[in-house]
Amino acid sequence: MGARSTAAERRTVAELVQERWGDHRPGLWFEERTLTHHEVAAGAAARAALLTDLLPSRAQPHVGVLLDNTPEFPLWLGAAALAGAAVAGINPTRRGPELARDILHTECRVLVTERTHLPLLDGLELPGVRVLVTDTQAYEDLLAPYADARPEPGPGRATPRSRFLLYFTSGSTGAPKAAICSQGRLAAAGRSLVGHFGVRADDVHYICMPMFHGNAVIADWAPALAAGAGVALRRRFSASGFLPDVRAYGATYFTYVGRAVQYILQTPPRADDRDNPLRTGFGTEAGAVDAAAFEERFGVRLVEGYGSSEGGAAIQWSPGTPKGVTGRAAPGDDLAVIDPETGAECPAALFGADGLLLNGHEAIGELVNRGPNPFEGYWRNPAADAARGRGGWYWTGDLFYRDADGYLYFAGRTDDRLRVDSENLAAAVIENILARYEGADAVAVYAVPDPVAGDQVMAAVAGTFDPPAFEAFLRAQPDLGTKMAPRFVRVLDRMPVTATNKIHRAGLRREGFRCADPVWWRPTGEPESAGYRLLSGADVEALVARYRARGREELLLR
């Protein structure tokens, strides 16, 4: 499954960094600090020269970056590009052996970090790894001899095929895998987004999503670099700091993932919310309701896009795309919605007069790219490569359905599919319904095993929960199927999320109904009129005994 070869992909990120040399416009803002484009290119050149000297001979040219969104992060991205090296974004929310595993798995012989993250490394066995701590005098002294370095191409340096990013999947399910992104692919992605959104050199891209993840680098930093636009950094995402930052930096574009938009909407509204310079927000999974509320409040259109983290499939939004629709396939992609059990293409979605999906049980399948695509594999993980590319197709791991006009609708992740009483359900479809509940700030739906066979529906609701009101709400929803009503409802103050602000479904699923939060449930066999009642310790013991009697107790730990 090789990458496409286009004129854009024959460019490198290193060339884009070199083009900023001599550009003395402001190019990077962080808190009280401002760097020109020239200073950014010069800083990248100095770090590239240092990295070249630090890497042992015959070592993989990989540098781990364990940083918040500080100027050092884009400087080391530029340095790696110039040196023909790859950056492995290390997730600071990982701990202990898992954190060490990420660093060692990607074979980083140099690790760049800052003092605030040093405690994470205490007690870790990292043989052969040189640690650089950016906010120290020792680091400044180490860089000083390279101050006059220039971002000039050298023999054997960057090519379009050079590995540039080793970025981990979010870790919401299973051990994170390090996806490979080459310089050519990232440069092409940046230039494509420049054209799609009309990015100009006088734009300012606000990066508030973590740069150790592909979203911030590929969809925010790369198009800014390709267009010569400025970049404003936020150390860590802050809902309350979002609008003040946008105004202070004159930001015109930002990216988002997961629940970030929802958190911003939960900040107290102000009469001057629409007084801001933003033109566009680009991301995924904001949801049609939140996207409309964001545009109404801030006057900013959110463009929902879809691109698998590994680059194997993309769906493009375009003017005229109906609300609630992700978009159509990108040019050249042969996308299909496939039943993963039969390998056959799913039938088109059918909708009622009110727009409700009528045949979700047969129309929802896994999105597959059957044509050439730029997936470049995972670092040293042939099993994961084979699973993604089985049968010569690229399997995204995401659920969609497609209407008769070719529009694609996101329906969740394949690991978020539930099977209740032999009926297949998509968690995202149920979530969209439960999100209408007045007391819900956030909703997550996931499977817990049934004591006998298949799954039961469990929902986590962050916000306020009134059982009688919730029951009345469920009865009033015309598109809530007979198998969709949650058997269990976990009530939380705040929804747990991964480091990339996606709901941490793996943790919710693993805890199931045996959690510290209040859980309301409707026992199997009781009429719906009996309503929800609080799950007690005795109830849990009785439930577990049922699983044990059926030999399914171990499924509670999946």
What confidence score (pLDDT) does residue 5 get? 45
pLDDT per residue as tens digits for the range 292-351? 899 999 999 999 888 887 889 989 777 788 877 888 887 777 999 999 888 999 999 998
Q: How much of the chain, in percent, has pLDDT values that exceed 90?
A: 66
| Amino acid identity at 14 | A
Find out whether 421 and 454 touch, Cβ atoms under 8 Å.
yes
From first CA to last CA, the distance across the chain in angstroms is 32
User: Beta strand 62-66 with 110-113: parallel, antiparallel or unpaired?
Assistant: parallel
Q: Return contacts of 514-517, CB within 8 angstroms, 24+ apart.
A: 514/540, 514/544, 514/556, 515/490, 517/490, 517/491, 517/492
3-state secondary structure (DSSP) of residue 496 = coil
**Mean pLDDT computed over every residue of the chain:** 89
Q: 365: which residues sit within 8 A by CB, 6+ positions away?
A: 337, 338, 339, 340, 345, 346, 399, 400, 401
Q: Which pLDDT band holds residue 175 (cuts at 50, 70, 90)?
A: low
The rounded distance, in Å, linking the Cα atoms of 129 and 199 is: 39
> Would you state the pLDDT for residue 170?
54
What CA–CA distance (Å, rounded) separates 73 from 66? 9
Q: Give rounded-to-5 percent helix, strand, coil for the chain.
A: 35, 25, 45
Label residue 127 by pLDDT band (50, 70, 90): very high
Confidence of residue 7 (pLDDT cuts 50, 70, 90): very low
pLDDT exceeds 50 at position 173: no
Long-range CB pairs of 355-359, under 8 A, 24+ apart, other chains included: 356/478, 356/479, 357/401, 357/429, 357/479
Confidence of residue 422 (pLDDT cuts 50, 70, 90): low
| 426 and 412 Cβ atoms separated by less than 8 Å | yes
Which residues are registered as beta bridge partners of 420?
423
Tens of pLDDT along 52-75?
999 999 999 999 999 999 999 999
Tell me the C-alpha distance between 262 and 243, whole Å.
14
**Does residue 448 register a pLDDT over 60?**
yes
Paired tokens of 140: 């400044």
Q: Which of 146, 129, 130 is nearest to 50 (CA)?
A: 146
What is the model's pLDDT at position 2?
42
Segment 367-376, tens digit of pLDDT? 999 998 889 9
pLDDT of residue 369: 95
Between CA 400 and CA 363 the distance in angstroms is 8
Lowest mean pLDDT, pick from 153-162, 170-179, 492-501:
170-179
| Number of C-beta neighbours around residue 481 at 10 A | 16
More confident residue, 17 or 5: 17
Angle formed at CA 138 by CA 134 and CA 144, multiple of 5 degrees: 90
Q: How far is CA 152 from CA 35, 188, 503, in A?
A: 20, 21, 43
Contacts of 249 (CB under 8 A, 6+ apart): 29, 204, 206, 230, 232
Distance CA 460, CA 511 (A): 11
Task: Report which of 383, 4, 389, 368 is spatially closest to residue 182, judged by C-alpha positions.
Answer: 4
Q: Which two tokens stand for residue 467?
A: 């059982």
Higher-pLDDT residue of 523 and 199 is 199
Supply the pLDDT for residue 504: 86
**pLDDT number for residue 355:** 74
Coil, helix or strand for 298?
helix
Looking at the DSSP assignment, which residues form a beta bridge with residue 112?
A: 65, 132
Instruction: Name the band, by pLDDT with cuts 50, 70 and 90, for residue 237.
Output: very high
What is the set of domains in the chain, with CATH numbers? 8-236 (3.40.50.12780), 314-416 (2.30.38.10), 421-557 (3.30.300.30)
Q: Which residues of 407-437 are buried (b: 16+ CB within 10 A; e: fewer)?
A: bbbbbbbbbbbbebeeebbbbbbbbbbbbeb
The pLDDT of residue 551: 66
Q: Cα(495)–Cα(499) distance, rounded to whole angstroms? A: 13
Give 364's pLDDT tier (boundaries 50, 70, 90). confident
Angle between helices 72-83 and 37-54 (to 10 degrees): 60
Assign residue 164 a region: left if phi > 0, alpha if psi is -120 to 50, beta otherwise?
A: alpha
Q: Which range has the worst mean pLDDT, 356-370, 406-420, 524-538?
A: 406-420
Query: Following CA atoms 129, 134, 136, 138 in sequence, which dihedral angle do they give, to the nearest 10 degrees?
Result: 50
User: Which pLDDT score, from 0 to 100, does residue 461 have?
Assistant: 96
Q: Where are the alpha helices (DSSP H) in 370-410?
A: 382-388
Highest mean pLDDT among 93-107, 190-204, 252-266, 501-515: 190-204
Instruction: For residue 169, report the phi and psi dihedrals to the nearest 5 degrees.
Output: -60, 165
Report the C-alpha gap between 521 and 163 in whole angstroms. Answer: 50
**Count of CB atoms within 10 A of residue 500's CB?**
24
At 451, the amino acid letter reads: P
Please state the pTM of the whole predicted model: 0.80
Highest mean pLDDT among 103-112, 359-368, 525-534, 547-556: 103-112
Tens digits of residue pLDDT in 529-554: 778 999 999 999 999 998 887 667 75
**Strand locations in 162-321, DSSP E?**
163-168, 178-182, 204-207, 230-233, 253-256, 280-283, 301-304, 306-307, 314-316
Radius of gyration (C-alpha) of the chain in whole angstroms? 24
Which helix H or strand E contains 508, and what residues bound it?
helix 505-511
Residues 6+ apart with CB under 8 A from 108: 62, 63, 64, 88, 90, 129
* Closest to 461 measured CA to CA, from 425, 424, 486, 498: 486
Percent of the chain with pLDDT over 70: 94
